[in-house]
Structure 1
């Protein structure tokens, strides 16, 4: 159940170009969060909260790790917060990934940019359930790459950059042909990437997580709706998502 909680900043650091990793401490959030959910954070001086995906959870230390890019004034201000400060948070918010109880299956994770973080906690959770993990991660440049070693610890990992400055050059869909057979995929990233991924893997079962600006974050304001495959139907990303079956919504 989503609650309003105060979270204390335990650590914060830049881990890539304009990318911040922040570890937040809160008992309720850390014990209830599942892969794919997000925190809706109130940044001082800003009216609207910022939705930030959960990148990792440590239930023993009661912490949640978030990663975010400094793209606007809100995230720039959030990046200035120091260790020991507190943040007003709503969460854990949204519906997470469907994990399935099919150990020994092979799972493909496909992430782009700031869509990569939620896939790490997912991959770690699935690996603990004895599933084989393959990751394809896309970034703009070599300076934007993060968490490569963490994903490699889970299984085979491909890195793709737009400019070819690190790993393979191109888009995540350009290396999907190199991936061995898999049973299911999970993807998170910009909509154009998700469109390309779902088109390339239309015959495979999968789930996608949508990145979207939000208003209320609880499904009341209709600021983050997406059409479904049902004629005239809509889903609220903040409440019904951010995770959907790949065939459920129209991108």
Structure 2
């Protein structure tokens, strides 16, 4: 269920280069948000809302944590909001990850700002006593975040494009170092997701798409993606952002 809500900024800090962690207080969102869902935030001076994935929730404190990277005027503006500021948001929005009840070992593959929703998922999977392996990809050492948090979930591999930290290359380069697993969940830019889906075509997998949106409720058709059958389309904001990797054409 999605509602228009007001969220109070409780904390804001820079956790990596141009990457911020913001803690927001709202009882409805913290109690109902599922892994893979997002908040569609209204920012002062900007017509279009900004979709930001949910990284974790704390039901006892009624808080929800989001992470975002400055990549334009909207997120730069968001990074200026201090504790006490009230944000207007639609959410929790979208359809989240489908938990595979048959999988005992699960691989999480995140790229850049696609990492946060996988942390929310990983915490829930750990509560269900699943074994978790994570591959996290970043541009360079300066952009790495949440390494310790993922290590607390299970085996974690860091990959950087320039090799300044962890393994040099892309997330798919780290697959050769991974043991057997039953299914995977991945979030990141489309080129990364395309490569992951191709490399793991024989596995059961789910992908979460990063996309700029218009309305965020499926009315404007600004964020559609073709399916792999019948020439149809899916709306990323409403039908996604999570899809089975064989459902859509990247």
Structures share fold, TM-score greater than 0.5? yes
For 2:249, the equivalent position in structure 1 comes to 250
Specify the SS of the correspondent of 2:229.
coil
Question: Which secondary structure state, in structure 1, belongs to the residue aligned with residue 173 of structure 2?
Answer: helix
Matched ranges for 1:15-54 at <5 A: 15-54=15-54
- Hey, what's the Cα distance between the residues in 1 that align with 2:203 and 2:184? 8
1:231 Cα deviation after fit: 2.7
- Residue 85 of structure 2 corresponds to 85
Per-residue CA distance 1:123-158 (angstroms, 9 max, x = gap): 010010010000000000000000000000000000
Residue-by-residue CA offset, 1:62-109 (whole Å, 9 max, x unaligned): 111000001000000000000011100100000000013347x00000
Q: Matched residues in 2 for 1:130 and 1:43: separation? A: 39
* Aligned-partner SS, 2:44: coil
> How many Å separate the matches in 1 of 2:119 and 2:80?
24
Q: Distance in 1 between matches of 2:176 and 2:167?
A: 13
Q: What residue number does 1:110 align with?
A: 109
1:154-208 Cα offsets, whole Å, 9 max, x none, are 0000000000000000000001011000000000000000000000000000000
Structure 1: segments with no counterpart, 5+ residues: none
Partner of 2:233: 234
CA distance in 1, matches of 2:139, 2:166: 11
Q: What do you get for the CA RMSD once the two structures are aligned?
A: 0.7
Question: Once the 2 structures are TM-superposed, how far is the Cα of residue 232 of structure 1 from its aligned partner?
Answer: 1.8
- 1:45-194 matched pairs, under 5 angstroms: 45-102=45-102, 105-194=104-193
The separation in 2 between residues aligned to 1:76 and 1:166, in whole angstroms, is: 26
